[in-house]
Every structure is written in C-alpha cells, then in structure tokens.
Amino acid sequence: MVVLVTDHRLSVLYHEHDGVEVSESQDGQFAGRVQSDKDVLREGRIRLHVSRLRTEDSGLYVCEMKTDCGYGSESCRLNVSGELIQ
C-alpha cells in the first residue's frame, strides 16, 4: 500500500492485495491518475506513475509491503509547485 501523509490526514494512493489492485481503498484525490508498472512488479519492485500532479499531492509518501517473507517500508517526500500560466 502506498499512502500520502499530510498534516491533515492519510490518503491511500495505491493498494494491491494478492496481485489485484484494491481500487475501493484509493482516495478520490488520486482517482484515474495512478498506474502501476506491472513489468517491474514481476521483478519484485514497484513503480507507480501519477499523472496530472497538483500542489495538494505534495507530502510524505510511504510504501508498505507485506509478503510471506516479511514486511518492509520506504518513504519519500514530494513537493509539487507551480505557477499560473496565462
């Protein structure tokens, strides 16, 4: 599961269980904007593509993985900034 952690709440970006995406867990903020790269998943890695980034997508992202072999997590911070184009 990949979640966005902000000062206000936790938002689920992506959730997969037994190889199947659990879309009903996904926060509406990310609906239709997240795709998983299945090729690297077969190699034991995860790569997500988020399209149409927004400033509210900024925050701490945490990826939690649970398998029969154990548990692991990693995090990264994303800062999305932009300027108005006229």
Domain CATH for 61: 2.60.40.10
The answer as to whether 86 is a domain residue is no
pLDDT at 84 exceeding the cut of 70 = no
Tally of structural domains, the chain = 1
Instruction: Please tell me whether residue 29 adopts helix, strand or coil conformation.
Output: helix
The answer as to whether 83 is a domain residue is no
27: containing domain: 2-78
Counting residues of the chain whose pLDDT is more than 90, the rounded percentage is 45
For 11-50, write each residue's pLDDT tens digit. 999 998 887 889 899 999 999 999 988 888 778 788 899 9
- Point out which residues pair with 64 in neighbouring strands: 73
The answer as to whether 84 is a domain residue is no
> pLDDT value at position 3?
86
Question: What pTM did the predictor assign?
Answer: 0.79
The answer as to whether 30 is a domain residue is yes
> pLDDT value at position 32?
93
